[in-house]
Amino acid sequence: MNKKILITGGAGFIGSHLSRRLLREGHEVLCVDNLFTGNKDNIIELFSNPRFEFMRHDVTFPLYVEVDEIYNLACPASPIHYQFDPVQTTKTAIHGAINMLGLAKRTRAKILQASTSEVYGDPEVHPQPETYWGRVNPIGIRSCYDEGKRCAETLFFDYHRQHGLPVRVVRIFNTYGPNMHPGDGRVVSNFIVQALKNKDITIYGDGCQTRSFQYVDDLIEGMVRMMDNTENFTGPVNLGNPGEFTMNDLARKVLALIPESTSNIIYQPLPQDDPKQRRPDIALAKEKIDWEPKIGLEEGLMETIEYFRDKI
C-alpha cells in the first residue's frame, strides 16, 4: 500500500537517500527542511517526480499536514554546524520532536526518531548496547546535540506511554556516503575532500580515538526495516557498523584510496568532550529486524570518494 510519508530534514545527507528509497517503493514523500545544512542539490532530481513535494519549513514551528508516517531527521548533525547556534540546535531537537509528535498524535501516524550514538556520550561500556545509559556532559559544547537527542527520546517514549503513539527510535552511529556536504565538517568528508584537494589532512588529538563508520545504504535499510516492523518493536535500536577504526587508520585508508594525493597528515587540538571510543553492539537489530550492515569501510569509501571527485 502506498503511504504519504513526511521526512523532516529530507534535504540533508541521510534524508535525501531516504527520500529516494521511499519514492522507489512507490510512496508519496513530503520533504520538510529549512535548508540550514541541507540543500536543494541533494534532492533536485526528485522535483520532477509527481509523488515528491518539498516544503521549506523550520520544525521548531508547528506543522499541519496529513500523513501516514513520519521520519524525524531534522537536526544539524556535524559538531561545527550544531555548535554554530547551540540554542537553535536544542530547540530543533526538542520543539521539533514535540511538534512532530503532536502531528503524529493528531493524524495517528507512525513516527520514527533519528537518534544517535551520542546519547552514550564518552562511553565507559564498550561496545555500547542499548541498555547502557551513557555518560554525557550536560553543560559542555556537545550538550545541545547530545542532551537534545536524549530529551527527544524521552518525549518519544512518553508520547508512546501516555498517548499510545506508535513510535520507533533508532540510534545511528557515524554514517557517511554520497550527498554529504563538502563543508560538512565530519571526519570522513573532511579527510576525503582534503586528500582530493591536496590539502593537509587534519587529525584532531593523537588520532587514537575510535569510531565505527557505517555506509549510508546500510543505514537506510535499517531505518526502513525498523519503521515497517510489524511487531511494534519501538527500539531504541542501534544502527551502525561494528568495524572500529582509529582516526589514524581512517586517514591512512583515505590516502591509500587516493594515491595521487600529495596531502600530509597534521595534528590539531582535540575538541572538548570528544568521545574516545565508539562501537555499536548490534545484536538487538539482528534479532528484532534481521538487520546487519553489508558494506565494508573500503567499499563505502570508494563510492564516497567517487562522489566527491565529481562534486569538487
Q: Does 115 bind ligand UDP (CB under 6 A)?
A: no
Q: Cell 588520532 maps to which residue?
A: 207
- The cell for 143 is 550538550
Calpha distance 308→192 (Å, rounded): 8
Q: Does 289 bind ligand UDP (CB under 6 A)?
A: no
Handedness of CA 73, 75, 78, 81 (dihedral sign): positive
Least Å distance between CB 45 and ligand UDP?
27
Least Å distance between CB 158 and ligand NAD?
19
Least Å distance between CB 21 and ligand UDP?
23
Concerning whether 82 is annotated as a catalytic residue, the answer is no
Least Å distance between CB 198 and ligand NAD?
26
Contact set for ligand UDP, span 10-29 (CB under 6 A): none
Q: Does 240 bind ligand NAD (CB under 6 A)?
A: no
Q: 225 or 278, CB closer to ligand UDP? A: 278
Q: Does 199 bind ligand UDP (CB under 6 A)?
A: no
Q: x/- contact string, 138-177, with ligand UDP (CB under 6 A)?
A: ------------------------------------x---
**For ligand NAD, which residue of 9, 207, 222, 236 counts as binding (CB under 6 A)?**
9
Q: How many residues bind ligand UDP (CB under 6 A)?
A: 24
Between the two ends of the chain, the Cα-to-Cα distance in Å is 40
Q: How many residues bind ligand NAD (CB under 6 A)?
A: 28
| Partner interacting with residue 38 (select from ligand UDP, ligand NAD, none; CB below 5-8 Å by kind) | ligand NAD
Contact set for ligand UDP, span 223-252 (CB under 6 A): 247
- The cell for 169 is 527510535
C-alpha distances in Å from residue 216, one per residue of 174, 225, 304: 9, 14, 10
Cis peptide before 182 (omega within 30 of 0): no
Q: Does 55 bind ligand UDP (CB under 6 A)?
A: no
- Do residues 52 and 29 touch, judged by C-beta distance below 8 A? yes
Exposed (0-12), middle (13-18) or buried (19+): which is 234, by Cβ within 10 Å? middle
Q: 49 or 248, CB closer to ligand UDP? A: 248
- Do residues 201 and 162 touch, judged by C-beta distance below 8 A? no
Q: 132 or 233, CB closer to ligand UDP? A: 132
Q: Does 15 bind ligand NAD (CB under 6 A)?
A: yes
Considering 82, 120, 145, 215, which one is annotated as catalytic? 145
Q: Cell 525498523 maps to which residue?
A: 226
Q: Which residues bind ligand UDP (CB under 6 A)?
A: 62-64, 78-79, 98-99, 102-103, 105-106, 174, 186-187, 190, 202-204, 209, 211, 247, 270-271, 274
Q: Which residues bind ligand NAD (CB under 6 A)?
A: 8-9, 11-15, 33-38, 58-60, 73-77, 92, 96, 114, 116, 172, 174-175
Which residues participate in catalysis according to the annotation? Answer: 145
